[in-house]
Structure 1
Amino acid sequence: MIIYLYDGSFEGLLTAIYEAYYRSEKPEQIMAQDSYQPDLFSQPRVIATDSDKAGKVYDAIERKISHEALEHVFYVYLSELPGLGTLIYRYLQFGWRVGADINGHLSLEPVREVLRISQKVGVERHRMLGLLRFKKIQGELYYAPFEPDYNIVGLMAPHFARRLADQNWIIHDLKRGLAAFYNQERWLIRELANNTGQLNWEENEAFYQELWQNYFQRIAVEGRTNRKVQRQFMPARYWRHLIEKPTQ
């Protein structure tokens, strides 16, 4: 069983798909190198990332299938779920045969799974746009920690670059040690260790957090509180970083 191994990057995955398409040997699986477990039956092939090859695959997805398919592929990649490389490969194999109609073929498992996973990633992005909470630290900088299920920090940064264009901010994915940094001009993604205990908060930050907590409590009507619906739109696993629910 031939397995193509890539470096874990999106460019690396697209390069592996390029090689799978043009080489005479066809892999049964495509996976990140750090996910591979050697066994007696597999024949691993390490695929070096090539920006030109990755770019050709990127363009071919958008041109021969659709921009929507490209977005679904990227969202599935951001899910970090097991088997995503092979799933994307199978999805694109079919997509290059049928073109823009691919997402109408829901009877095919690769299509159905790509759409299902992409939707889950998109839902979390949408949900976190409303649940992210910024806190002010010294140096006129706003900081927002969160721990998403999927690797969505790069999907969220453009939204806040528009909404908070006149501020300096950091959106920090504590689970992955990644952060989006914005300096009122552009944003970028960099690694950032989880050392929030060393942050120096702005002098009035605690006061403003208390005001927000009091507001949240006062507008709540106990008789109309629906905990089930609340957890549906604001799942408990996100409460840790919500200013209005500090005791959860």
Structure 2
Amino acid sequence: MSYFTYDGSFDGLLTAIFESYALKIAEPQIYIEGDLGPQLFEKIHKVSADQEKAERVKTKIQSLLGKSGLQSLWKATLSEQTNVGNIVSGVVRYALKSEKDVLKDYGHPSVLALQEIMKKLSRERHRMTAFVRFKLASDQIYYATIEPDFDVLPLISEHFKNRYADQKWMIFDLKRNYGVFYDLTKVVPVEFHQTENSETPALISIEWDDTEMEFQSLWKNYFKSTNIASRKNPKLHLQHVPKRYWKYLVEK
């Protein structure tokens, strides 16, 4: 069995798929560097992302699965699942063999696995758009922090750009130590590097605006006043608002 490792990028994954065909390997095992444990007597091909090779694979995928199909494969990599490289590779190989759009053929294990990933991503994306809470800083920029199960920040940026088009804001993913900043014209990625010997995600020291606590107090009072105690359903509430999100909700 032949193994391929890549840098975690979508282009890196597509390059690995390209290389597996170039080497005529029928069933390659593709993993992100670091996710593949020691393999005795097995050859490991370490692949560097090659934009030209990746673009060739993208063009072929799009001709078979369409633009939305290509985006689905990219979105799947945001799940960060250990086996996602093999799932994407399996779908691509099945499509190339069938010479048609196979994304609704749920009888194929890779297509079914892709569909399950897309459902989980969609659920997490929806929750993030609902549970993000911004706070106004003294520099008049709204800040929010998240720790989603999957890397959904690229999927929710456009939502907040459209919703808060007249405000500067930043959303920071504490789990992955990067964020996005909207400067009233475009959304740009931002990174904060941890200091040496730090075991916690990089945090930003922010001075909040004087009105921020007042707004938070008003929101808590509104939430309390609209709550009907006799209709409380804790079990249903936890289904829609899992406890892991509570620390980011002002009303909690």
Q: TM-score range by the shorter chain?
A: over 0.9
Residue by residue over 1:42-91, the C-alpha shift from the partner in whole angstroms, topping out at 9 and shown as x without a partner, is 21111111111112222222222223322321221000011110111011
TM-align CA RMSD: 1.6
AA of the residue aligned to 1:85? G
Identify the residue that residue 249 of structure 2 maps to in structure 1.
242
The 3-state SS of whatever aligns with 1:96 is helix
Please state which structure has a larger fraction of its residues in helix.
1
Unaligned runs of 5+ in 2: 194-200
Assess, with a 3 A threshold, how the Cα gap between structure 1 residues 32 and 165 changes in structure 2: closer, same or farther.
Answer: same
Aligned partners of 1:41 and 1:217: how far apart in 2? Answer: 63
The 3-state SS of whatever aligns with 1:144 is strand
Deviates more, 1:184-193 or 1:123-132: 184-193
Residue by residue over 1:189-247, the C-alpha shift from the partner in whole angstroms, topping out at 9 and shown as x without a partner, is 232354546211111111111110111111000111222221122111111101110xx
Aligned counterpart in structure 2 of residue 227 of structure 1, from 224, 234, 246:
234
Identify the residue that residue 59 of structure 1 maps to in structure 2.
59
Assess, with a 3 A threshold, how the Cα gap between structure 1 residues 68 and 97 changes in structure 2: closer, same or farther.
Answer: farther
Aligned partners of 1:9 and 1:75: how far apart in 2? Answer: 11
- Normalising by structure 2, we get a TM-score of 0.92
Identify the residue that residue 107 of structure 2 maps to in structure 1.
107
Number of residues of Structure 1 aligned to a counterpart in Structure 2: 245
Deviates more, 1:136-145 or 1:98-107: 98-107
The 3-state SS of whatever aligns with 1:202 is coil
AA of the residue aligned to 1:16? A
Aligned partners of 1:80 and 1:74: how far apart in 2? Answer: 11
Unaligned runs of 5+ in 1: none
Aligned partners of 1:178 and 1:12: how far apart in 2? Answer: 20
Identify the residue that residue 144 of structure 1 maps to in structure 2.
144
Identify the residue that residue 196 of structure 2 maps to in structure 1.
none
The 3-state SS of whatever aligns with 1:25 is coil
Aligned partners of 2:143 and 2:17: how far apart in 1? Answer: 38
Identify the residue that residue 83 of structure 1 maps to in structure 2.
83
Deviates more, 1:50-59 or 1:150-159: 50-59
Task: State the identity as a percent.
Answer: 33
The 3-state SS of whatever aligns with 1:104 is coil
Aligned partners of 1:192 and 1:230: how far apart in 2? Answer: 35
Residue by residue over 1:141-185, the C-alpha shift from the partner in whole angstroms, topping out at 9 and shown as x without a partner, is 000101100001111111111111111111111111010111011
AA of the residue aligned to 1:36? L
Aligned partners of 1:61 and 1:207: how far apart in 2? Answer: 52
